[in-house]
Amino acid sequence: MSDKFDLASLSRRKFLGAAAAAGAAAVAGPAMADVAIDEIINAPRRGNWDDQFDANSSRTAAAVMSNNPIFGPEAAANIQQAVFDYETIVANGGWPQVNPGQKLRLGVNDPSVADLRKRLIISGDLPRSAGISSAYDSLVEEGVKRFQARHGLPLDGVLGQYTIKALNVSADIRLMQLRTNFQRIQEIKTDLGQRYVMVNIPAAYIEAVENNRVAQRHTAIVGRITRPTHIIDSKIYQVTLNPYWTAPRSIVEKDIVPLMRKDPTYLTKNKIRLFDGQGAEVDPATIDWFADKAPNLMFRQDPGKINAMASTKIEFHNPNGEYMHDTPQQGLFNKLSRFESSGCVRVQNVRDLTTWLLRDVPGWSRQQIEATIKSGQNTPIKLENEVPIYFKYVTAWSARDRIVQFRDDIYQMDGAQELALQTGLNQEPVVAN
């Protein structure tokens, strides 16, 4: 019995990797794709294909992710291969548009599913053996989830508004996007360092990288188009536990003053205190909140659970007053559109990243970090060695062989309106940076 294709001995994750490779092979050419897929589906003791092709969302996401960093040694070669593959797709006529007459989900039978199947097969998200029919079966659902995972969309296997929009971005536009980002990655000439942090703004996530491998990956919330997170190379020099939050002048003017006009108790309820230039505290009741200009005072929020930065602030050198931080609004990390800040970057599971950053600082184990946070005491901690951090704008990449990732061009920098699918969402005022 072949060890390579004995699904009884393979883990489900390894099997997904084999299926993903087969789907990628479909891009390289029909002959290679058919051989790879046939070997898998004809494997001894393979059981039912629907059972083996795991539909669990987290496993689907893992199947398209990689511990290779976006800017690793193989980054340029991987995205160049993606360019070649998409040039082939475009030369062969691209893929069909998907225009369903109803919401497509598991169990639906609709003529547009045939176009969906063709679309997913061409991009390597559905095995050719699935065939072309109008049935939205478990294979199609899993192919949609794989597509969603590659595009940073919720893995629900349903064709919602943004999944349809992403599906219907033409192959030539995707090719242009790959070429644009290939140029961006080629322009990174610096030695990134043995240990660094990378914030990919349009993907709204963070990689902590060590020895050219992703040690941690964190979901993030980054700046909206009207208050963008800046692209910058810098170094992290300090972590502050239980930080004070000092509101930037822009937030004071655009957000806090209008809120005080509506609710004079807003500052008190949110434990924000006012201080003049000499450090003396000022009573909010003495301020004319309807004056033409916002008061020239420092607005500082005390540490605590409702603090805009919650437990942690991560500081790096920059001229924009930006930093990374925790947030009391953890539910925001579950949203599709995570472009809601005023430029700073909120980090999910920030204590894991803090532990990684402080591991070389004597006395700062995870246990000590947790104990200090629990104490509520404002505690700045200098890093023994500053850690490089890179804020980059990459909307397309391939960190794993022939598994191409695309993200929304939230800041409209790629040159095609079709790629800015979410621009305009969540542009309402916010108070946290």
**Using an 8 Å Cβ cutoff, are 251 and 270 in contact?**
no
Cα maximum dimension of the chain: 83
Look at strands 245-246 and 298-301 and give their pairing.
antiparallel
Nearest 5°: phi and psi at 20?
Answer: -65, -40
Q: How far is CA 230 from CA 64, 122, 177, 223, 227, in A?
A: 28, 36, 21, 8, 9
Q: Are 355 and 369 in contact, with CB atoms under 8 Å apart?
A: yes
| In the block, residue with structure tokens 């051989």 | 35
DSSP 8-state secondary structure symbol assigned to residue 130: G
Q: 345-347 and 213-223 as β-strands: parallel, antiparallel, unpaired?
A: antiparallel
CB neighbours (10 Å) of residue 20? 21
User: If we measure between CA atoms, which residue out of 1, 2, 33 comes closest to residue 19?
Assistant: 33
Rounded Cα distance, 181 and 176, in Å = 9
- Pick the catalytic residue from 218, 230, 317, 325: 325
Extended strands (E) in 60-172: none
Question: Of 385, 397, 430, 393, nearest to 410 (Cα)?
Answer: 393
Residues β-bridged to residue 239: 314, 381
* Contact in structure between 272 and 246 (CB atoms under 8 Å): no
Q: Is 325 a catalytic residue?
A: yes
The question of whether 230 is a catalytic residue gets the answer no
Could you give the residue numbers annotated as active site?
Answer: 325, 344
